[in-house]
Amino acid sequence: MTTSSILSQRMPRVDALTGLRWYAAFFVFGYHMLVFAPLPGPVTSFLHQGFFGVTFFFVLSGFVLTWSASDRVSQSTFYWRRFARVWPASIVALVFAIPVFYSFSPDPADTWVKPVSVGILALSIVLLQGWSLNPTILFSGNPAAWTLTCEAFFYALHPYISKILNPLKVRGSLIFVGSIVVVMFGYRLLAATFPDSLFSAVPFPAVRATEFAIGMGVAWAFRRGWRPRVPVTVGMGSIVLALGAIVLIPHYGPGSKAAWFVSSFANELVTVACALSILAIASASIAGRPSLLAAKVHVRLGEWSYAFYLVHATFIYIALDVFGLQPASWRNLAWYALLLAAGLAGAAALHHFVEKPVEKRLRAWKDSRDLRLVANS
């Protein structure tokens, strides 16, 4: 089968992966809740790993964009659709976040509140803040939105990485994935070995592009007909195993080589586990096997996950400002439920009144413009 015939095919939607997006977003929510309402015991150690939900998003993004790629979509249209998908909701969330995270006072009372800087906020508007490692800039505007800088960079790279992948068959695609994994671990080894070198100063979008590329390579192998027989329990279990190792080995074997390894290569281990879980779930879904993750409630939550990701931290910091840091207690689960409900309500509103309708209008405008250009050519 030629590349053209592959890219002309309309690939089936994998709803189970949409459902899984919600749990990645919920994991990030649990991580951010620790600044306001920590839980007692080892649960907190597990929730401290919640930022790895972002790693899952990056791998999944590469997979989904490559799985759904079509030769009927021009490069300019691809870029416009990505802009329409991401930017409008991010701007509304930014406007909502600024009063919570910024003050006109030169010395704000709360440690998370920053003095207003028009120049720095402007970087957030154009999604460039993530190219800085300075926390004031990196977490500027809506603090969670630094990941959108990474996504914007990945979108820019996608057509060019696709040109590398498109001629490859299954074997070549898997070699591509293996090569990126080697590069990913190799870079981390250099950064861990030489912590004060330029290796540790590479901005996040460039470093995290390997996660996106791995997702792309796995998706292209699927489009070439690869159907690995990896049980979903193994795929999901690999994430649990990776997170368990990251938490438990340094705790029970501090100073050991194993502790150094899992601490130094934590993100790389989770990346591989995320790729394994995605390929297991995608393989099962394409084979027609049912999944609870494909249930309507999970799919709906997955569709809201981007909006939820954008607004949840703002609600948490509002609660922190009003009620102050809560002592570690299981009673804080009530706060988790309350702020989860608030975040979901905000996410639903953002999704249904901004994200989807504005995306639809922007896409329609571009499609109409392209048709006029074709008609006039």
Closest residue by Cα to residue 279 from 193, 218, 197: 218
CA–CA separation, 154 and 285 (whole Å) = 26
pLDDT digits (tens, 9 = 90+) for 32-42: 999 999 999 88
pLDDT at 103 over 80: yes
CA–CA separation, 301 and 198 (whole Å) = 40
Distance between the two ends of the chain, CA-based, in angstroms? 32
Position 292 scores a pLDDT of 92
pLDDT digits (tens, 9 = 90+) for 162-185: 999 999 999 999 999 999 999 999
CA–CA separation, 270 and 242 (whole Å) = 6
What value does the mean pLDDT take over residues 245-250?
96
CA–CA separation, 63 and 85 (whole Å) = 17
CA–CA separation, 95 and 82 (whole Å) = 21
Amino acid at 298: H
Position 9 scores a pLDDT of 84
Position 106 scores a pLDDT of 77
What is the band of 200 on the pLDDT scale with cuts at 50, 70, 90?
A: confident
Residues near 297 by beta carbon (within 8 Å), at least 6 away in sequence: none
What are phi and psi for residue 103, nearest 5 degrees? Answer: -145, 150
Position 129 scores a pLDDT of 97
What are phi and psi for residue 115, nearest 5 degrees? Answer: -65, 145
pLDDT digits (tens, 9 = 90+) for 310-348: 999 999 999 999 999 999 999 999 999 999 999 999 999
SS3 7: helix
Q: For 106, which DSSP code?
A: S
Return the beta strands (E) in the chain as ranges.
102-103, 114-115
Residues near 156 by beta carbon (within 8 Å), at least 6 away in sequence: 79
What value does the mean pLDDT take over residues 245-260?
96
What value does the mean pLDDT take over residues 93-102?
96
pLDDT at 4 over 90: no
Q: How many domains, the chain?
A: 1
Position 327 scores a pLDDT of 96
Whether 242 contacts 85, CB under 8 Å: no
Tokens read off for 369:
């413009």
pLDDT digits (tens, 9 = 90+) for 184-195: 999 999 999 998
SS3 265: coil
Q: For 38, which DSSP code?
A: P
pLDDT at 2 over 80: no
CA–CA separation, 274 and 64 (whole Å) = 13
Whether 34 contacts 44, CB under 8 Å: yes
CA–CA separation, 93 and 154 (whole Å) = 21
Q: Which domain holds residue 247?
A: 3-376
pLDDT at 354 over 80: yes
Closest residue by Cα to residue 19 from 318, 282, 329: 282
What are phi and psi for residue 231, nearest 5 degrees? Answer: -60, 145
Is the pTM of the predicted complex or chain greater than 0.85?
yes
What value does the mean pLDDT take over residues 302-317?
98
What is the band of 308 on the pLDDT scale with cuts at 50, 70, 90?
A: very high
Per-residue b or e along 146-179, where b marks 16 or more CB atoms closer than 10 Å to that residue's CB? bbbbbbbbbbebbbebbeebbebeeebbbebbee
CA–CA separation, 161 and 63 (whole Å) = 12
Whether 173 contacts 220, CB under 8 Å: yes
Position 107 scores a pLDDT of 77
What is the band of 196 on the pLDDT scale with cuts at 50, 70, 90?
A: confident
Position 77 scores a pLDDT of 96
Whether 129 contacts 145, CB under 8 Å: yes
pLDDT digits (tens, 9 = 90+) for 204-229: 999 999 999 999 999 999 999 999 98
What value does the mean pLDDT take over residues 47-69?
97
Amino acid at 360: K
Q: How many CB atoms lie within 10 A of CB 137?
A: 19
CA–CA separation, 150 and 155 (whole Å) = 9
Whether 140 contacts 114, CB under 8 Å: yes
